[in-house]
């Protein structure tokens, strides 16, 4: 069970959180102008990398705030935690 | 039975506290401080069980958690018993009642042992091969027989009477194992002021020191110092069973199992859930058996185990021992045993020319050392009586027997030592094969994990060195009989031959070989077998061990009870139970409740003599005839505030909210961005920047989370604040033509007249003296009001309403009547008519989709081609040809009656009820192109009779003009 350092509450057990899937999937600003393929990509297509993954987490049983988190999916090491709206940090790895 | 094998003095048992126990019905005696295994051995009992597959006699092989053989069932009375308990770790307690498993009719005479004779029929993979054909035989014949013959223990029949607790703990340093290395680590961390938890699976700290002839005097000093360190928590009888991510460790503390009459306030076991900053593993090492023919006979024991029984429990495990080793450590055991009067027939050492201080000491003590030799087989029916010894040649093959077999009643084995790397491996640390030790040792750690002492491959604390050793995994067989068995995995009865067979059949990956042969898959997780299996496979493939692979250790390290895992989460505490503020009133009126999410909702209110059908019929009819009251408090309620609240509603609902005036409400449908219906509910405008939103009962939490997600991540520019107020309000719906008459006498400050208070309006008011809100909304199609008052006033307001309703025959109705009433009007229930793949268009609710307003969630999704197709499943009504016949929810619909299978299914029933107001059954269904099928007849195939014919209609059965609503 991961130990996640909520930016607002400090380190808490994973059961207090909910993972919201891959981060940096922006809802298109003008959905009506998107093609079916673009809309499909936004709705359904997600990466499932072995290694570095940027994902959204919500401290649902705590402050209820969303934040982004960079995790190595092999070691489960949490490499960075950063606010919603910020670009993914450069962690010097692919 | 006398304790013939107890030594008169010494050991760590308490001779002042004799304990009585039973084994297979026989009365025996031991002492406090004994394990069940040491007490059995003191009574001369070696044969304790029969093996899993071949029903071979088995004895006690180890003195610790790694025991594969000595699994016993402990009877606790009242249908309560513990199966598969390792006798080597069960502490003796007065009155303990143990019996052997897997034998019939008795341990000495076991009919299943015929499996041993039939063993050519039970090779590796026999599950996959032998019982494949014919298929029907599997269920009827093979499986029951295998289950009967090859079980482990018996599952208890009664509910578990004990309590189990979970405890969460945090520490800077967790030290696992309180042998010398663990004690030093805990002391060092404790002296530095760090918060330490030190756990050990045994009843007392000291680890390997306790197995010595003379326990080192330093132990007392270290324990005394530990006791002075306030930040150090010491837990005995506590086994770490799992080492997970980020320093999360689970440990099982056995709190009362060792007590004869425990304090009833104590839990039986406590599951510790520890988050540790760093973990020091000091878990020691496990001695390896050697694989040779007959290595499973009772009386064959690990050398270190014999030493532990001798020194710690003052038990002679036999009278005349042969010692078979490939390293020095077994010499220490031999010398200790010899000193306590156990005859050592000889030490058979596989090394060509063993020379060390230990070897010299053995020779000096007059013990015969046979070098460059191996044990090739054993004899003896229920206990070993002799061992055959042969010389090795230069290639490691057999060079002929050394005289006659050696008579003995004990055979001590040491094939080297495996550092106990289970937890290190669980923590995802990588293992490395150490050529010197011929064993896996911790490699690179992935977490903040440090291994110390023997588990790190550091054996400096040992008396006797496990290396240099002569690598010896399987002794070459000197007999080619099919019945000669050399066991690798004792618990699962896997032999060296089975491993060879798996390789012959083409298995190469060690993980496949393990699964095919079931090596290491028992409850002992292969603690004594995995490395041997790996090395034997490597040898047969002529590859280095490292190329064959390693094994992965998974939690739990030792079996733990479901009770400990579950803790308090059973029965009434299994899940949250939410009750409305008016729950007691419903209960007093005989309500039958149903679970809706975590809520208890009044389902129906049977009067004496009424069944559910009669009660629902009465409640449903009363609402349309006069009026009825429904507890609607469970609906989700979200307070929406902020200057952008209106904009927000416009984006999350399909319809337009720009013009909703204060004092008015609107029904809204919420979609996902895929265009599918997610939730619905009525939202009221309190003022221009303040709204009161309601959601479905089951969707409340999900909707709030979803809206928060949007606000925080997609639209952080919107100033909107959401607060769940579900539990702030008690809600009572009053439905029926006399709803106004019931409510009016109790209302102050609000005109209920139709023109002053129209449908879909809300008004502040005092109801029965309580300040609240009244909403004119209807889920039945009748004139209806919903009263909201603060939750703590709900009960009194409902009592007043029931009193006011009495002259009108307006009583409570439940959720079942509510369902029938709404279905009569064709109102959907999200989650019943929808399943996450249904659009508003499918539901015939195009009217609620405001395509002209700006973007909203789901708008683009609805434009997808498939969602606009005319043959999608669409909501319709169904009227069965036989009016009394109520369809089954979930039933499939076909175009023709009694179709051949596979039939084309064109839809399914989503709701079906008997409608007392219509005097017939009604149903709602999703049907392919359903909107164009009104007037057609469809069919519902039934498993036990002819199809049921049903006419497709509009999903609206009562009051199609909607005149009742305005009553
Ligand atoms: Zn938080």
- E strand or H helix at B348, and its extent? strand B343-349
Nearest CA in chain B to A28: B714
Q: Which residues of A touch B673 (CB under 8 A)?
A: 27, 31, 42-43
CATH no. for residue A38? Answer: 3.30.2270.10
Rounded to 10 deg, the angle between the B530-541 and B496-504 helix axes is 50
Per-residue model confidence (pLDDT) at position B117: 65
Q: Would you call B855 and A18 a contact, using CB atoms and an 8 Å cutoff?
A: no
Residue B128, pLDDT > 80, answer no
Rounded to the nearest angstrom, the distance between the alpha carbon of A12 and the centre of ligand 1 is: 8
**Which helix (DSSP H) or strand (DSSP E) does residue B227 occupy?**
helix B218-228
Residue ranges of domains in chain B, CATH in brackets = 14-116 (3.10.20.440), 165-282 (3.50.50.60), 486-570 (1.10.10.1100), 583-634+728-822 (3.30.1360.120), 636-724 (3.30.70.1400), 869-967 (2.40.30.110)
Check pLDDT > 90 for residue B120.
Answer: no
Interface pTM, i.e. ipTM: 0.97
Q: Which residue of B has its CA nearest to A59?
A: B705
If you write DSSP's letter for every residue of B246-266 in order, what string do you get? Answer: GGEEEEEEE-STT-SS--TTS
Q: Which two tokens stand for residue B551?
A: 């094994």
- The answer as to whether A91 is a domain residue is no
In the prediction, which pLDDT does B55 show?
A: 86
Reply yes or no: is the peptide bond before residue B556 cis, omega within 30 of 0. Answer: yes
In angstroms, the CA B564 to CA B269 distance is 6
Mutant choice from B444, B569, B654, B860 vs A, greatest count of A C-beta within 10 A: B860
Inter-chain residue contact B705 with A43, CB threshold 8 Å: no
pLDDT tens, position by position, B668-711? 999 999 999 999 999 999 999 999 999 999 999 999 999 999 99
Instruction: Identify the pLDDT of residue B629.
Output: 98
Give the residue from chain B lying closest to A60, CA to CA.
B705
Higher-confidence position of B868 and B583: B583
Q: Sort out which chain B residues have CB atoms less than 8 A from A66's CB and list them.
A: 708-709, 712-713
Check residue B121 and give its pLDDT. Answer: 60
pLDDT band (50, 70, 90) for residue B145? low
Compute the distance between CA of residue B144 and CA of residue B150 in angstroms, rounded to an integer: 10
Contacts of B686 (CB under 8 A, 6+ apart): B662, B692
- Could you give the angle at which helices B303-313 and B329-339 cross, rounded to 10 degrees? 40
Cβ neighbours of A85 in B, within 8 Å: 713, 716
Helix H or strand E encompassing B146: helix B143-149
- Chain A residues with CB under 8 Å of B244 CB are 1
Interface of B with A (CB under 8 A): 244-248, 275, 428, 446, 673-674, 705, 708-709, 712-714, 716, 855, 859-861, 863-865
Beta carbons of B855 and A64 less than 8 Å apart: no
A93 lies in a domain?
Answer: no
- pLDDT above 80 for B619: yes
- Name the residue among B248, B446, B860 with its Cβ closest to that of A34: B860
Q: Ligand 1 center to residue A63 CA distance, Å?
A: 4
**Contact criterion met (CB below 8 Å) for B465 and B496:** no
Average pLDDT (B336-362) is 97
The alpha-carbon gap from B716 to the nearest alpha carbon of chain A, in Å, equals: 9
Rg, Å, chain A Cα set? 15
Task: Check CB contact under 8 Å for B713 and A65.
Answer: no
Q: Which residues of A touch B707 (CB under 8 A)?
A: none
Kindly indicate the confidence band of residue B966, based on its pLDDT and cuts at 50, 70 and 90: confident
Distance of residue B427 Cα from the nearest chain A Cα, in angstroms = 10
Task: Collect all residues of chain A within an 8 Å Cβ-Cβ radius of residue B705.
Answer: 18, 58, 60, 64
CB B431 within 8 A of CB B423: no
Instruction: Specify which residues B952 forms β-bridges with.
Output: B878
Structural domain count of chain A: 1
pLDDT in tens, B437-466: 999 999 999 999 999 999 999 999 999 999
Residues of chain A contacting residue B863, judged by C-beta atoms under 8 Å apart: 32
Q: Please check whether residue A92 lies inside any domain of the structure.
A: no
- What confidence score (pLDDT) does residue B405 get? 95
Cα of A75 vs centre of ligand 1, distance in Å, is 23
Is the pLDDT score of B151 beyond 60?
no
Give the separation between CA B692 and CA B665, rounded to whole angstroms: 9
Question: How far B581 CA lies from chain A's nearest CA (Å)?
Answer: 24
Structural domain of A71: 3-83
Q: Name residue, tokens 């009562």.
A: B958
Residues with CB under 5 A from ligand 1 (ion): A 6, 8-9, 59, 62-63
Angle B291-B297-B300 from CA coordinates, rounded to 5°:
70
Backbone φ/ψ region at A24: left (φ over 0), alpha (ψ -120 to 50), beta:
left
- Return the minimum-mean-pLDDT range out of B95-109, B381-395, B414-428, B844-858: B95-109
- Which residues of A fall below an 8 Å CB-CB distance to B? 1-3, 13, 18, 20, 27-28, 30-32, 34, 36, 39, 42-43, 56, 58, 60, 64-66, 75-78, 84-85
Task: Using the predicted structure, report yes or no on whether residue B560 has a pLDDT greater than 60.
Answer: yes
pLDDT at B242: 98
| A94 band by pLDDT with thresholds 50, 70 and 90 | low
Residue A80 CA, ligand 1 centroid: distance in Å: 16
pLDDT over 80 at B482, yes or no: no
> For residue A77, how far is its CA from the centre of ligand 1 (angstroms)?
19
Upstream peptide bond of B902 is cis (omega within 30 degrees of 0): yes
Measured in angstroms, the CA of A9 and the nearest CA of chain B are apart by 17
Q: How would you label B600-620 residue by residue, b for 16+ Cβ within 10 Å and e otherwise?
A: bbbbbbbeeebeeeebbbbbb
pLDDT in tens, B309-340: 999 999 999 999 999 999 999 999 999 999 99
Residue B260 scores a pLDDT above 90: no
What pLDDT score does B125 carry? 65
Q: How far is the CA of B641 from the centre of ligand 1 (A)?
A: 22
Ligand 1 center from residue B639 Cα (angstroms): 22
What's the rounded Cα separation, in Å, for the pair B204 and B198?
12
Nearest CA in chain A to B276: A3
**Ligand 1 center–CA A67 separation, angstroms:** 9
Q: How far is A36 from chain B (nearest CA, A)?
A: 7
How far apart are the CA of B537 and the nearest CA of chain A, in angstroms? 29
Decide if B246 and A27 are in contact by the 8 Å CB cutoff. no
Say if A33 falls within a structural domain.
yes
What pLDDT score does B739 carry? Answer: 98
Of B290, B291, B292, B319, the residue nearest B306 (C-alpha): B319
Is residue B1 over pLDDT 80? no
Give the CA distances from residue B364 to residues B70, B307, B696, in Å, rounded to whole numbers and listed in that order: 36, 20, 86
Whether the predicted pLDDT of B111 surpasses 70: no
Closest Cα in chain A to B672? A43
Q: Search chain B and give the residue with CA nearest A32.
A: B860
DSSP per position, B273-338: EEEEEEEEE---EEEPP-B-BTTTSTTEEEHHHHHHHHHHH-B---SEEEEEESSSHHHHHHHHHH
Any domain includes A90: no
Of chain B, the percentage scoring pLDDT greater than 70 comes to 95
In tens, the pLDDT along B221-254 reads 999 999 999 999 999 999 999 999 999 999 999 9
Is it the case that residue A38 has pLDDT exceeding 90?
yes
Task: Give the Å distance between the CA of B503 and the centre of ligand 1.
Answer: 54
Give me the pLDDT at residue B291, please. Answer: 97
Contacts of B171 in chain A (CB under 8 A): none
Mean pLDDT across chain B, nearest whole number?
93
CA trace torsion B745, B750, B752, B757 (10° rounding): -170
Average pLDDT for A28-50: 95
Residue A14: pLDDT over 60: yes
CB B327 within 8 Å of CB B227: no
Would A42 be classed as within a structural domain?
Answer: yes
Which H or E run includes B541? Answer: helix B530-541
Ligand 1 centroid–CA A6 distance in Å is 5
Residue A89 in domain: no
Interacting residues of B335 by C-beta distance below 8 A, sequence separation 6+: B358, B361, B362, B365, B367
Q: Searching chain A, which residue's CA lies closest to the CA of residue B861?
A: A39
Q: State how far residue B449 is from chain A, nearest Cα, in angstroms.
A: 14
| Minimum-distance CB partner of B674 among A1, A43, A84 | A43
- Mean pLDDT of all residues belonging to chain A: 95
The crossing angle, in degrees rounded to 10, of helices B815-824 and B612-625 is 60
Q: Indicate if the pLDDT at residue B140 is higher than 80.
A: no
Percent over 90 (pLDDT), chain B: 87
| CB contact at 8 A, B55 and B113 | yes
Minimal Cβ distance to B446: which of A60, A66, A75? A75
**B858 token code pair:** 């789901």
3-state secondary structure B830-873: CCCCCCCCCCCCCCCCHHHCCCCCCCCCCHHHHCCHHHHCCCCE
- Would you state the pLDDT for residue A92? 80
Ramachandran class of B559: left when φ > 0, alpha when ψ lies in -120 to 50, beta otherwise? beta
CA B705–ligand 1 middle distance (angstroms): 14
Cβ contacts of B787 within 8 Å, gap of 6 or more = B731, B732, B733, B734, B743, B767, B772, B773, B774, B797, B801
Whether residue B130 has pLDDT greater than 80: no
B533 C-alpha to ligand 1 centroid (Å): 48
Position A11 in a domain: yes
Q: What are the pLDDT digits (tens) for B762-772?
A: 999 999 999 99
pTM above 0.80, yes or no: yes
Question: Using alpha carbons only, how large is chain B's radius of gyration in Å?
Answer: 38
Residue B500 predicted with pLDDT over 70:
yes
């Amino acid at each position: 069970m991961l130990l996640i350092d909520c930016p607002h509450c400090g380190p808490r057990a994973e059961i207090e959180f909910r993972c919201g899937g891959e981060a940096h999937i922006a809802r298109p600003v003008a959905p009506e102008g998107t093609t079916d393929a673009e809309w499909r990509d936004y709705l359904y297509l997600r990466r499932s990398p072995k290694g570095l993954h940027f994902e959204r987490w919500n401290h649902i049983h705590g402050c209820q705030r969303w934040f982004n988190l960079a995790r190595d999916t092999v070691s489960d090491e949490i490499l960075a935690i950063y606010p919603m709206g910020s670009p993914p940090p450069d962690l010097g790895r692919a | 039975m006398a304790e013939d094998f107890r030594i008169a003095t010494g050991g760590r048992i308490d001779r002042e506290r004799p304990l009585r126990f039973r084994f297979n019905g026989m009365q025996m005696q031991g002492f406090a401080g004994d394990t069940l295994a040491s007490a059995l051995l003191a009574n001369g009992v070696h044969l304790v069980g029969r093996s899993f597959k071949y029903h071979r006699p088995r004895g006690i092989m180890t003195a610790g958690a790694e025991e594969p053989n000595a699994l016993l069932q402990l009877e606790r009375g009242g249908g309560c018993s513990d199966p598969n308990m390792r006798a080597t770790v069960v502490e003796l307690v007065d009155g303990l009642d143990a019996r052997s498993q897997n034998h019939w009719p008795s341990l000495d005479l076991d009919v299943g042992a015929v499996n041993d004779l039939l063993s050519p029929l039970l090779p590796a993979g026999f599950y996959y091969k032998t019982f494949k054909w014919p298929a029907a035989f599997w269920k009827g014949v093979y499986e029951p027989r295998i289950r009967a013959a090859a079980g482990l223990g018996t599952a208890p029949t009664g509910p578990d009477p004990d309590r189990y607790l979970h405890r969460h703990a945090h520490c800077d340093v967790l030290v696992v194992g309180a042998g010398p290395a663990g004690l030093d680590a805990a002391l060092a961390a404790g002296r530095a002021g760090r918060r330490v938890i030190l756990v050990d699976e045994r009843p007392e700290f000291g680890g390997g020191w306790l197995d010595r002839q003379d326990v080192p005097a330093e132990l007392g000093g270290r324990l005394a110092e530990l006791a002075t360190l306030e930040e150090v928590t010491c837990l005995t009888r506590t086994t770490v069973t799992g080492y997970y991510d980020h320093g999360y460790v689970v440990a099982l503390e056995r709190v009362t199992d060792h007590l004869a009459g425990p304090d009833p306030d104590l839990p039986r076991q406590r599951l510790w859930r520890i988050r540790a900053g760093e973990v020091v593993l000091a878990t020691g090492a496990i001695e390896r058996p050697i694989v040779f023919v007959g290595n499973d006979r009772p009386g064959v024991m690990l050398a270190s185990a014999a030493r532990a029984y001798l020194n710690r429990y003052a038990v002679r495990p036999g009278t005349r021992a042969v010692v078979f080793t490939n390293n020095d450590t077994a010499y220490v055991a031999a010398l200790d045993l010899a000193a306590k009067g156990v005859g050592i027939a000889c030490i058979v050492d596989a090394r060509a020319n063993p020379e060390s201080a230990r070897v010299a000491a053995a020779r000096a003590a007059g013990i015969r050392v046979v070098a460059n030799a191996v044990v090739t087989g054993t004899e003896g029916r229920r206990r070993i009586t002799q061992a055959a010894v042969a010389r090795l040649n230069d290639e490691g093959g057999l060079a002929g027997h050394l005289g006659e077999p050696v008579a003995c009643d004990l055979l001590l084995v040491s094939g080297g030592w495996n550092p106990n790397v289970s937890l290190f491996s669980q923590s995802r640390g990588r293992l490395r094969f150490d050529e010197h030790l011929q064993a896996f040792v911790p490699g690179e750690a992935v977490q903040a994990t440090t291994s110390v002492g023997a588990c790190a491959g550091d054996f400096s604390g040992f008396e006797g060195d496990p290396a240099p050793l002569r690598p010896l995994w399987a002794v070459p067989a000197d007999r080619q009989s099919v019945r000669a068995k050399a066991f690798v995995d004792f618990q699962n009865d896997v032999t060296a031959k089975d491993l060879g067979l798996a390789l012959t059949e083409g298995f190469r990956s060690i993980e496949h070989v393990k699964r095919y042969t079931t090596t290491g898959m028992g409850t002992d997780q292969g603690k004594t077998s995995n490395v041997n299996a790996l090395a034997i496979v490597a040898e047969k493939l002529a590859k280095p061990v490292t190329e064959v692979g390693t094994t992965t250790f998974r939690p739990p390290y030792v079996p733990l009870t479901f009770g400990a895992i579950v803790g308090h989460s059973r029965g009434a505490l299994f899940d949250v139970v939410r009750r409305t503020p008016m729950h007691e009133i419903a209960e007093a009126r005989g309500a039958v409740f149903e679970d809706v999410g975590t809520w208890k909702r009044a389902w129906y209110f049977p009067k004496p003599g009424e069944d559910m059908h009669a009660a629902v019929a009465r409640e449903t009819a009363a609402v349309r005839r006069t009026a009825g009251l429904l507890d609607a408090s469970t609906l989700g309620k979200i307070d929406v505030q902020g200057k952008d609240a209106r904009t927000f509603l416009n984006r999350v609902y399909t319809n337009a909210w720009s013009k909703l005036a204060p004092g008015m409400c609107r029904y809204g449908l919420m979609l996902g961005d895929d265009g599918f219906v997610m939730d619905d509910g009525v939202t009221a405008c309190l003022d221009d920047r303040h709204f009161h939103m309601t959601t479905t009962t089951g969707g409340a939490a999900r909707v709030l989370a979803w809206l928060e997600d949007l606000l925080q991540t997609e639209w952080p520019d919107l100033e909107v604040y959401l607060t769940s107020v579900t539990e702030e309000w008690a809600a009572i719906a009053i439905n029926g033509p006399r709803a106004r008459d019931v409510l009016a006498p109790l209302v102050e400050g609000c005109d209920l007249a139709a023109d002053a208070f129209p449908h879909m309006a809300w008004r502040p008011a005092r109801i029965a003296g309580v300040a609240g809100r009244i909403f004119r909304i209807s889920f039945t199609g009748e004139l209806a009001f919903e009263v909201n008052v603060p939750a703590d006033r709900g009960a009194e307001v409902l009592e007043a309403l029931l009193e006011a309703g009495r002259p009108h025959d307006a009583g409570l109705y439940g959720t079942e009547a509510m369902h029938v009433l709404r279905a009569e009007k064709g109102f959907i229930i999200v989650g019943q008519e929808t399943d996450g793949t249904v659009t508003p268009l499918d539901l015939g609710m195009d009217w609620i989709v405001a395509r002209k307003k700006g973007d909203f969630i789901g708008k683009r999704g609805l434009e997808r081609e498939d969602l606009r197709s005319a043959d999608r499943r669409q909501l319709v009504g169904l009227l069965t040809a036989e009016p009394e016949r109520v369809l089954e929810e979930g039933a499939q619909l076909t175009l023709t009656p009694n179709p051949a299978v596979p039939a084309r299914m064109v839809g399914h029933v989503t709701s079906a009820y008997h409608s007392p107001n219509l005097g017939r059954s009604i149903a709602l269904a999703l049907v392919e192109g359903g909107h164009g099928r009104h007037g057609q007849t469809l069919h519902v195939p039934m498993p036990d009779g002819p199809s049921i014919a049903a006419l497709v209609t509009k999903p609206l059965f009562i009051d199609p003009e909607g005149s009742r609503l305005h009553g």
